[in-house]
Amino acid sequence: MALCLKQVFNKDKTFRPRKKFEPGTQRFELYKKAQASLKSGLDLRTAVQLPPGENINDWIAVHVVDFFNRINLIYGTMAEFCTALSCPVMAGGLRYEYRWQDEHRYRRPAKLPAPQYMAMLMDWIETLINNEEIFPTRVGVPFPKNFQQVCTKILTRLFRVFVHVYIHHFDSIISLGAEAHVNTCYKHFYYFIREFSLVDHRELEPLREMTERICH
């Protein structure tokens, strides 16, 4: 029998502290609404839809932060199985290889061991979601014009975490009794990015067969 989420995933193993929403804010209320939909047993396809009257960027922001927390937790638990020795390249099987690029240290795409890529990724996302100019939390402060493009980049890179975990560490997922929980998180993520067309379909190709099987 699969264990409950808190038993399967040790929150102390997360790469970064969980990003939390300030109580009393619109973002916090949206987060509670999203969580209530999930806990109610509502179909995930329906749960990701924009609630009537809500701002789409607020809805996307809430989910990007929540997916960062959840995927960070999943990978943090798997990290002991993902080393520079076992995963010298950030990849998804033999056909897909992901190289890291940013505006500072790695201006050209760099081949990195998976653990280093993951660390760079979580640092990069954390910096973005804590940046008030990109993810504003104060009432009346508008989102930047390129907000959804930034979120597309974040979600595209987070999808690669699923690719690596599913293809290279699925046995570990099973051994932890975490398969059902990881699958549910993946389905939630997949339905969300498809609902709002936030990740290019070509990026989804590495997990296409599995997605067709569990997200039918």
Q: Are 77 and 10 in contact (CB under 8 A)?
A: yes
Instruction: Please state, in angstroms and rounded to a whole number, the distance separating the CA atoms of residues 102 and 121.
Output: 10
Instruction: Please state, in angstroms and rounded to a whole number, the distance separating the CA atoms of residues 209 and 215.
Output: 10
Structure tokens at 169: 């560490």
Which residues have C-beta within 8 Å of that of residue 4, sequence separation ≥ 6? Answer: none
- Is 151 annotated to bind ligand? no
- Is 164 annotated to bind ligand? yes
- Is 169 annotated to bind ligand? yes
Among left, alpha and beta (phi > 0; psi -120 to 50; other), residue 23 is: beta
Amino acid (1-letter code) at residue 170: F
Residues annotated within the binding site are 82, 87, 164, 169
Residues annotated within the binding site for Zn(2+) are 82, 87, 164, 169
